[in-house]
Amino acid sequence: MTEQPALIADIGGTHVRFALVRSGQPPAETVVLRCGDYAGPAEAARAYLQAVAPTVALRRGAFAVASPISGDRVDFTNSPWSFSVAATRESMGLDRLDVINDFAAVALSVPYLGAEDLMRIGGGEPLAGAPVAVLGPGTGLGVSALVRDGAGNWVPLASEGGHITMAAADDREDALIGWLRRRYGHVSAERLLSGPGLVNLYEAVAAANGRPAIYNTPDAISRRAVENTCLLCREALDTFFAMLGTVAGNLALTLGARGGVYIAGGILPRMREAFALSGFRARFEAKGRFQPYLAGIPAWLVVHPQPAFAGLAALVTR
């Protein structure tokens, strides 16, 4: 990397976060913009650069996007944005623009996270060199992993594991998923384990209890659940935590993630104490004969404010 900074961006379904990265320094000049205020990432990036570095000539950029990457065209799952990687690179005058899945960027951050960036959620010690699982709820449900390549380097896996079919662990969850199946047909994990998913869960819980659904935002539901001022909200959040444990345990088994499970995303760090005391860990391990196997796998809640930035910074400076 030259002395010029690189532009990095973490693009979600609602917000895009920009920063500049200089060699040997953490990301700086961080700004958050609303995606809906701009036609696409190039327009948002130009507005950001005009505000923070109007005279800097950039040559390198890296975007983390909440979308599968399968070619030059990027169409967002939870946003109307769509763009061409090549056209965006050319319009911004960049020599190189890397575009990776947002949770692949989070996975890249894992080797660079310190103790202050993590909150332990049970388990034993990680097995050195073993695969690492990464997942987390936000606007959607992100899923990724880290595996070693032949040279011993960590490689992130781009995954759309948030769209797996959600499985119920008991009769109550069967009923809730059944109610949502009548609405959506396929009930993916993301339909439940995301900001909009918490609203879906609350509405299903209200229907199962024969009560009206009063609240319609994840913040309102989670706040009343944590304050214990609404029993329907409390059940919805408890179910959310438990179901996340189901999905995380499935992912750990699928990957053989004895290097640990890292839970990121924008939702859980805001209620970390409630999450730590929840049924997540018990459900994570509730895999019958493989309970002892999962009991040894450590899990951490990532409380770093911008783990995708740490991953993108590693990408553009290595």
Residue 263 CA: distances (Å) to CA of 25, 245, 246: 25, 10, 13
CA distance linking residue 192 with residue 306, whole number of Å: 23
Which pLDDT score is estimated for 100? 93
Which pLDDT score is estimated for 2? 45
Q: Assess whether pLDDT exceeds 80 at residue 3.
A: no
Which pLDDT score is estimated for 303? 97
Which residues lie below 8 Å from residue 293, measured CB to CB, with a gap of 6+? 253, 287
CA distance linking residue 198 with residue 98, whole number of Å: 32
pLDDT over 70 percentage in the chain: 99
Which pLDDT score is estimated for 66? 80
The model's pLDDT over 65-82, given as tens digits with 9 standing for 90+, comes to 988 888 899 988 767 888
The whole-chain average pLDDT of the chain stands at 94
CA distance linking residue 176 with residue 207, whole number of Å: 9
Torsion sign, CA atoms 285, 291, 292, 293: negative
Residue 2 CA: distances (Å) to CA of 21, 24, 39, 64, 108: 11, 11, 30, 21, 22
Length of the chain: 318
How many other CB atoms are found less than 10 A from the CB of residue 165? 10
Calculate mean pLDDT across residues 111-140.
95
Q: Which residues pair with 148 in a beta bridge?
A: 154
Describe the chain by its helix, strand, coil percentages, rounded to 5.
45, 20, 35
Calculate mean pLDDT across residues 40-56.
92
SS3 label, residue 46: helix
More confident residue, 63 or 55: 63
Calculate mean pLDDT across residues 205-221.
97
Q: Assess whether pLDDT exceeds 90 at residue 15.
A: no
Q: 6-107+307-317 maps to which CATH number?
A: 3.30.420.40
Calculate mean pLDDT across residues 308-312.
93
Residue position matching structure tokens 């890249």 = 108
Q: Assess whether pLDDT exceeds 50 at residue 1.
A: no
Q: Spell out the SS3 assignment of 36-62.
A: HHCCCHHHHHHHHHHHHCCCCCCCEEE
Calculate mean pLDDT across residues 134-162.
92
How many other CB atoms are found less than 10 A from the CB of residue 78? 18
Which pLDDT score is estimated for 223? 97
**Where are the chain's structural domains?**
6-107+307-317
Residue 228 exposure: Cα atoms within 13 Å on the Cβ side? 1
Calculate mean pLDDT across residues 193-221.
97
CA distance linking residue 97 with residue 82, whole number of Å: 16
Calculate mean pLDDT across residues 141-150.
94
Q: Which residues pair with 157 in a beta bridge?
A: 145
The model's pLDDT over 229-277, given as tens digits with 9 standing for 90+, comes to 999 999 999 999 999 999 999 999 999 999 999 999 989 999 999 999 9
Tokens of 252: 């750990």
